[in-house]
Amino acid sequence: MVLSHDHVHQLESESIFLMREVAAQFERPVLLFSGGKDSILMVHLARKAFAPARIPFTLVHIDTGHNFPETLEFRDRLVDETGSTLHVGLVQDSIDSGRVKEEEGPNPSRNGLQTVTLLDTLAELKADVARGGGRRDEEKARAKERFFSHRDRFGQWDPKNQRPELWNLFNGRRNPGEHFRAFPLSNWTEMDVWQYIADEEIPMPSLYFSHQRNVVERDGVLLAESEFNQLMPGESWDERTIRFRTIGDATCTGATESTAATLEDIIAEVAAARQTERGGRSDDKRSEAAMEDRKKQGYF
């Protein structure tokens, strides 16, 4: 057997290199696991990077409490299969302890609150690096992100003053109290991810595939029926054929109408898509630089 050198396998090799580089340069790495396809891909690549050993770090799930049940089932099964350890940081705990205050109004999002829970959890685990599944093609601020992204003692990102990253030389040196975010999937696009998933036959949560679900259209976003999404006056649930292009907090992840039921269908759909995958995310629509602003605070 020899390795394929097509573009997804070049990306695979690069990501495995990054996975190992993180393990070598840091003492207490964690992997941020959201239950979405990118974090499932991260776990898959981590297994490849360290086989036959087990994944040498904890998976961390920052849980807003607003989950799709399918996500949690899938998460727990994956943890079992890979023999990894999972640490769950609950946004509810941050609310209960008064560290954050729930947003008021009809559509409270816990998205922004996650940052505090995330930073508290990293501090609790004494993590010096958190791997995230962020990709540069997702969003314009992420296009500027480094593979090894420095965070100051307050967990903040300074986009104007990032360390230059040249060749395959990654500088993870840090002073006490500082930490890093590492993004091994930086160079993947949504299409690459799906092509690779199909190629490697990586199991994915059912949410990504077409199914019937009650949704309500609000500000151009299709929100799914759940205990966390309440109808506003004048709205009603409407059953449609949908799937999710991204999976996150149920209150802000929008569905897309789709009949794509297989990986091949999804790839064909992504190829023809005229909307970005985050186009369904109401959290990004809050302002032109919403992502940059959240990232500066310490967001994923």
Partner 1 sequence: MDLLRFSTAGSVDDGKSTLIGRLLYDTKSIFEDQLEAVEDASTRRGEGYVNLALLTDGLRAEREQDITIDVAYRYFATPKRKFIIADTPGHIQYTRNMVTGASTAELAIILIDARNGVLTQSKRHGFISSLLGIPHILVAINKMDLVDWSEEAFDQIAAEYTEFAEKLGVDDLSFIPISALLGDNVVDSSENMPWYKGSTLLHYLEHVNVGAHRNLVDFRFPVQYVIRPDQDYRGYAGRISSGTIRPGEEIVVLPSRKSTTVASIETFDGALEEATAGDSVSITTTEELDISRGDMIVRPGNLPNADTEIDATICWTSDEPMQPNTQYWLRQTTRETKAFISQIVYKIDVDTLHRDEVSQFELNDIGRVHLTTASPIFFDRYAMNRETGSFILIDPHTQNTVAAGMIRSAVRSVEDLPAAEPETDIRPVSPDVVWEAWNIELAERERRNGHKAAVIWFTGLSGSGKSSIARELERRLWNAGTQTMLLDGDQVRHGLNGDLGFTPEDRTENIRRIGELSSLFFRQGAFVLCTFVSPFQADRERARELLPEGRFVEVFVDTPLEECEKRDVKGLYERARRGEIAHMTGISSPYEVPENPEIRLETVGRGLDEVVAELMVRLRDLGVTA
CB of 134 to partner 1, least distance (A): 12
Q: Report the residue number, 103 or 217, with the smaller CB distance to partner 1.
A: 217
Q: Report the residue number, 20 or 87, with the smaller CB distance to partner 1.
A: 20
Q: Please list, in sequence order, all residues whose beta carbon lies within 8 angstroms of the beta carbon of residue 255, skipping any fewer than 6 positions away.
A: 213, 215, 222, 223, 224, 240, 242, 243, 244, 280
Residues 136, 142: Cα–Cα separation, whole Å: 5
Q: Report the residue number, 142 or 240, with the smaller CB distance to partner 1.
A: 142
3-state secondary structure of 122: helix
Question: For residue 178, what are its two tokens?
Answer: 């500082």
CB of 94 to partner 1, least distance (A): 27
Task: Spell out a b/e string for 226-249, using b for 16 or more CB atoms within 10 Å of the CB, else e.
Answer: eebbeeeeeeeeeebebbbbbbbb
CB of 13 to partner 1, least distance (A): 4
Q: Report the residue number, 115 or 195, with the smaller CB distance to partner 1.
A: 195
CB of 266 to partner 1, least distance (A): 16
**Main-chain dihedrals φ then ψ at residue 58, nearest 5 degrees:** -80, 140
Give Cα separations from 70 to 45, 76, 114, 225 (angstroms). 22, 10, 20, 14
CB of 89 to partner 1, least distance (A): 27
Contact 252, 283 (CB under 8 A): yes
CB of 15 to partner 1, least distance (A): 9
CA 295 to chain centre: 13
Q: Report the residue number, 189 or 241, with the smaller CB distance to partner 1.
A: 189
CA 274 to chain centre: 22
Q: Report the residue number, 89 or 248, with the smaller CB distance to partner 1.
A: 248
Q: Which positions touch partner 1 (CB under 8 A)?
A: 1-3, 5-7, 10-14, 16-17, 20-21, 23-24, 47-54, 136-137, 139-144, 159-160, 162-169, 171, 173-175, 178, 186-187, 189, 191-192, 273-276, 279, 288-289, 292-293
